[in-house]
Amino acid sequence: DIHMTQSPSSLSASVGDRLTITCRASQTVSIHLNWYQQKPGKAPNLLIYSTSSLQSGVPSRFSGSGSGTDFTLTIDSLQPEDFATYYCQQTYNIPLTFGGGTKVEIK
């Protein structure tokens, strides 16, 4: 199985901050890396797919980059509605696997 490691597991930030979350795969996943946002009690929501493609309707302050084993999700100018948990997911090999999540809290 491909193991996905996210860091940090949690962080505190302020509105307006620029945030970077990293995701490392235990082996290459090519560009097949997605990012989801989840708020408490809600289903996850797709933000970024195929490493860097912005899902329709997602604000442009979200961006993704990377390839192979190392990926990043960046949020420019954090907004109040961005406080949530973020997950990466590889869809290169079965079983598809998620990272452990990064919880973004208000400082």
- Give residues with Cβ within 8 angstroms of 46, minimum separation 6: 34, 35, 36, 55, 58
Q: Show the site string, 31-70: x = touches another protein by CB under 8 A, - = not.
A: -x-x-x-x----xxxx--xx----x---------------
Give the closest residue to 93 by CA, choosing from 7, 30, 41, 9. Answer: 30
C-alpha 68/C-alpha 25 separation (Å) is: 8
Per CB under 8 A, which of residues 86..105 are in contact with another protein? 87, 89, 91-92, 94-101
**What is the smallest separation between the CB atom of 18 and another protein, expressed in angstroms?**
25
Per CB under 8 A, which of residues 16..35 are in contact with another protein? 32, 34
Do the Cβ atoms of 68 and 77 come closer than 8 Å?
no
Binding site for another protein (CB under 8 A): 32, 34, 36, 38, 43-46, 49-50, 55, 87, 89, 91-92, 94-101
